[in-house]
Structure 1
């Protein structure tokens, strides 16, 4: 009878599955996709957590004499292979820094992308902790009449330095789920710690609401930011940047490409809803669910479109890279403003949730992008 160290085997099998889910883009069947997506969501950005578990459990199994049979030794080999696969996943994340710098240099000029030391302690030891002691979050401020779906949070430095720019972020969730203070928090806290005033906003969702309700809400947030963020130390004339994750990236792109459009500003037609630049993270940038061509950012590009930064994972299991690439091509063929496109090696969907090598490198790139845009605007 062959006995196996069951506890150790369970750990190794789970680690092997996670490594496979991170290395390979899986889209079906539905149940397999669900588990691969959920596990990859976390561990593709933090593979070292699984490596820690493998090393610790393997050391413990040897120390307790549990590696005694041929099956146990096979499990050790599987653990080693899984760890090697997770090391590849980690290496892909680390490559994001050079990819983002190259994208910035190609679009904005050599030397735009700067080299920075990644926050190793935060990435390795505190990836889940997004808050910072020098940043205050002011929660649940109302910007409209739709109750909790028209609430926003403001993030600002506790010292409230004056004259900072504004970043507005819209969450993803297929337009039918999601909420503020869940996505891109490392970005919001980083910029707020540098003197920005950042906003994360809820908006009305399907099926009760559809396009253009989401976009109208986005415009209301922009108008609110221009009117109120000076109370938290911002100066909207220093720049109002709009960003979004997944469906929120679609909103950010539409908002940037329809400045001051009265049909999307009922009751506040005179408000300034123009933005300085747009940032789309793992964004869906095609047509809305009804297929109306007017809901695709690709069909709204113009010569006076603002600068764009679009970042997408090359292993995104929900949105093919051809989707954001289509908007990049359309913008570059018409717009007089630059377009930065960073295709992140090994990146899955929703890479913006935690402190990881990939997202920290992209945040560095967003800072460099914003600095370039603001410098160009000051020079005009």
Structure 2
């Protein structure tokens, strides 16, 4: 029997299972399934390419020589079909994003666009763009490498762009600034935005409110320095985050200019125009402090929110972000866009996938609606 080919088919089958289900335990199985699902739920076509290539090589090298081998080839049709199903599920994301925007912001707020097929199908893991420059490791505080940020801006430095600040995830005890939501940062920067991705102090050495203070420092830094990279002097500043970073972004958006979280820079403007939370822990509190739960921070003058969450998130069940959505809609005068992504797992923002590209389209539409509203007010 062609053992190597059999292993490939078994692995492809496991990938499909991990993509279409939400596994919570036992821990060894969870971590194995989580890692495979994290990648291949977004780029299942890479696994499909590998399966097709392995099949072609097995035939070309004469490995398919017995009845058992031919049975394995027949069985390979099942994971191949499953990978196509996973791919098509991601391709339908726009059909969820656009209605969610229209419902929250008004008819016509969401627009359908043609996905960048070449980028998604051939270069999903390459996030960089030639027209975008990344300026690394700028200091915004005095905590060493945990107080460094990167700036992404268009090489031509067009003037008047808005600002997006992004905070990475990692449960507040791990992670770094150059890993998550890079397709979003590069896309917006290529269109004239100034995008910032920042490290922040982590547990256990630091705890709340240190993380939020760092977030406020980044916002203050952006208001002072983003114009050096092409942002408008009065640019709309959006704050975003993935997982724990989404939690921190929500906290920052709901505590504008609060001197408790701005020691030594109390006069800095840390308000934001909008908040974007991706697969976030949005109804959690940390370090035993209920004040860290964004649900407890909702206010009538909260900025507009866009919250996106996968319905198969292994780490954060949808009830968690929905709790913040409900609380905001009950109190805030600003709209709240909630997008539940069918088949979406945790950390869906790592690659150029059909799912994340459609969501980025929605984020652009959300930001356009917010900035247009600010222009009308001003």
Taking structure 2 as the reference length, the TM-score comes to 0.98
Q: Within 5 Å, which residues of 2 pair with 1:239-250?
A: 239-250=236-247
Q: CA deviation at 1:242?
A: 0.2
Other-structure match for 1:267: 264
More displaced, 203-212 or 232-241?
232-241
Q: CA deviation at 1:236?
A: 5.0
Q: Secondary structure at the match of 1:311?
A: strand
Alpha-carbon RMSD across the aligned residues, in angstroms, is 0.9
Residue of structure 2 aligned with 1:54, choices 43, 51, 54: 51
| Counterpart-to-counterpart distance in 1, 2:24 and 2:318 | 14
Other-structure match for 1:82: 79
Q: CA deviation at 1:235?
A: 1.5
| Counterpart-to-counterpart distance in 2, 1:112 and 1:10 | 47
Other-structure match for 1:190: 187
Q: Within 5 Å, which residues of 2 pair with 1:278-289?
A: 278-289=275-286
Contact 1:165 1:236 in 2 (8 A): no
Residue of structure 2 aligned with 1:300, choices 280, 297, 300: 297
More displaced, 201-210 or 232-241?
232-241
Gaps of 5+ in 1: none
Contact 2:148 2:199 in 1 (8 A): yes
| Counterpart-to-counterpart distance in 2, 1:40 and 1:26 | 10
Residue of structure 2 aligned with 1:238, choices 211, 232, 235: 235
| Counterpart-to-counterpart distance in 2, 1:81 and 1:192 | 41
| Counterpart-to-counterpart distance in 2, 1:379 and 1:289 | 38
Q: Within 5 Å, which residues of 2 pair with 1:77-226?
A: 77-226=74-223
Q: Secondary structure at the match of 1:14?
A: helix
Contact 1:211 1:288 in 2 (8 A): no
Residue of structure 1 aligned with 2:224, choices 207, 227, 232: 227
Q: CA deviation at 1:136?
A: 0.4
| Counterpart-to-counterpart distance in 1, 2:141 and 2:149 | 10
Q: Secondary structure at the match of 2:150?
A: strand
Q: Secondary structure at the match of 2:85?
A: helix
Residue of structure 1 aligned with 2:8, choices 11, 21, 37: 11
The alignment status of 1:26 with 2:60, answered yes or no, reads no
Gaps of 5+ in 2: none
Contact 1:257 1:301 in 2 (8 A): yes
Residue of structure 2 aligned with 1:339, choices 336, 341, 350: 336
Which portions of structure 1, spanning 4 or more consecutive aligned residues, are displaced by more than 3 angstroms? none
Q: Secondary structure at the match of 2:76?
A: helix
| Counterpart-to-counterpart distance in 2, 1:152 and 1:238 | 19
Which deviations, in whole Å up to 9, do the C-alpha atoms of 1:257-290 show, x marking residues without a partner?
Answer: 0000000000000000000000000001123233
Which deviations, in whole Å up to 9, do the C-alpha atoms of 1:308-361 show, x marking residues without a partner?
Answer: 000000000000000000000100111000000000010000000010000000
Which deviations, in whole Å up to 9, do the C-alpha atoms of 1:122-171 show, x marking residues without a partner?
Answer: 00110111000000000000000000000000000000011110000000
Taking structure 1 as the reference length, the TM-score comes to 0.98
| Counterpart-to-counterpart distance in 1, 2:300 and 2:311 | 28
